[in-house]
Structure 1
Amino acid sequence: MTTFSNDLVCTRFSTPLGDMYAAASNQGLVGLWFHDQKHLPAQLAPDLPHPLWRMEDDHPVLTKARDQVREFLAGERRDFDLPLDISAGTPFQRSVWQALLHIPVGKTTTYGALARQLGKTQAMRAVGAAVGRNPLSLAVPCHRVLGQDGSLTGYAGGLTRKTALLTLEGALAGGVHGVPKN
């Protein structure tokens, strides 16, 4: 279970793929979510009149995150250079999220390969659940993980966004209806 402190600061901003929230602690960026994705923290629930976290649009980490997301989605940036705070996850989740950071731009892996890399060959579903709970969309590239057969599965931000991200990175041949590159 991913748990977040109530004393974080956040901002909401627009991107070509939809509005996003970014949240930060004193240690770094804690979260980066599409406003309508699965597993959005309760502090940002859409039925709340406003986020429970304090809005701070000028926070240095949040400003940097917003700029880097926009540069990434414009094709002007390949990697994120942000201090990340992944302390909200369990030790297992943190190990999966750390492994995601090593998937290069334009490349993909599978849930099974990720489980094997972590020495957890029997834990493909647990790895998949941890990938799905990644609180740092884009910065921790969970969109680069595919089903065993190369299918586009399991992205909390939606498969349309996953397709757009992989196409932007050059990991899909032929766009939306393409086959993942080897």
Structure 2
Amino acid sequence: MFIPQASDWEASIVAAITEELDQLKYLIEDESGSTEKGDIHAQISRVCGLTDLAQNDAVPFAASARLQIRELNEMAMGMIRNTLDLTPVSDEPLQSFEREAAQGLFDAIALNIPQLAQGEARKYAIALSTNAFEELREYMGEHPDFEMMEQLVLVQDYRVMKLAGDNR
């Protein structure tokens, strides 16, 4: 079976994942006392965010690149299983339906980032109520793309949104 070689953009993603994995290993092995559990959790989120790309069939990875990313993911998961107590940062149990809703909203916004980033040229915007955005932040705030997304989404008080009405 012929497996085509990865392109430059695929090799760049694999290289970025490898760098993030090296950073995770550094944080796990750090004995200086300056690394906090939250630092490690954030790094795990970055690694997982990148390796999750291999699970998305819409991203046109060559089979070889997809395999490399999955292998890097397995390395990360093995490292995590062998060295960490992965209790949640928060003691409150997360309700799965709220997390799933936040993930769905996050994914919908992420798919529109190219249009949102073009601002006035595309006249494309997404507005969320302050409450909706805070729930999104609660569940997705540690995602590596959240900070960029935060800059592109209009956040308004619900009462202001209601006063503005339907402007179609």
TM-score by length of 1: 0.27
More strand by share: 1
TM-score between the two structures when normalised by the length of structure 2: 0.29
Larger Rg: 2
